[in-house]
Amino acid sequence: MIEITDAAAIIIKRSQAEGKVIRMFLAAIDATGANYGLALGDQEKDDLVFESRGVLIYMNPKDAEFLSETIIDYVNDERGTGFVIRGPEDEVSACGGCANEGSCDHDHDSCDHDSCGHHHGDDCGCS
């Protein structure tokens, strides 16, 4: 349900603090849907735990109700630096919207930036 790119996994692993976990939380629900954030926090008894690329993400079950397929990426480009949390409903206008366009590391077998000149929805692996 949660996929973490290599770039995000490296940064998350560096930022982990002893005795704390990485928590994903529901920040807001607006016209675009559910918006999530990440923070260091304490593990709660009823947390759901998601694992991707050796990183554990903890989440309150109530916040997870709106969760769908989610990609956590880390960008460092002209737009800024930080984590980007996207779902399949988030449109990407081109494969260039993938922070790792040159070396897409998503867990999608169909991601092929050489032949993906425009948004193909879930088939591209960049949305």
Q: Provide the b/e sequence for 26-65 (b: ≥16 CB within 10 Å).
A: beeeeeeebebebeeeeeeeebbebebbebebbbbeebbe
In terms of domains, do 28 and 58 share one?
A: yes
In terms of domains, do 34 and 24 share one?
A: yes
Torsion, Cα of 16, 37, 6, 44 (10° steps): 50
Question: Among 4, 12, 14, which Cα is nearest to 86's?
Answer: 4
Considering Cα of 73, then 23, then 55, then 20, what sign does the dihedral take?
Answer: positive
At 48, which CATH number?
2.60.300.12
pTM value is: 0.66
Task: Report how far residue 37's alpha carbon sits from residue 84's, in angstroms, rounded to the nearest whole number.
Answer: 9
pLDDT in tens, the chain (127 residues): 899 999 999 999 998 889 899 999 999 888 878 889 999 999 999 999 999 999 999 999 999 888 888 999 999 988 889 999 987 656 443 334 444 444 444 444 333 333 333 333 333 344 3
In terms of domains, do 112 and 79 share one?
A: no
In terms of domains, do 47 and 35 share one?
A: yes
In terms of domains, do 58 and 112 share one?
A: no
Task: Report how far residue 14's alpha carbon sits from residue 5's, in angstroms, rounded to the nearest whole number.
Answer: 14
Q: Which domain holds residue 60?
A: 2-90
Task: Report how far residue 89's alpha carbon sits from residue 69's, in angstroms, rounded to the nearest whole number.
Answer: 9
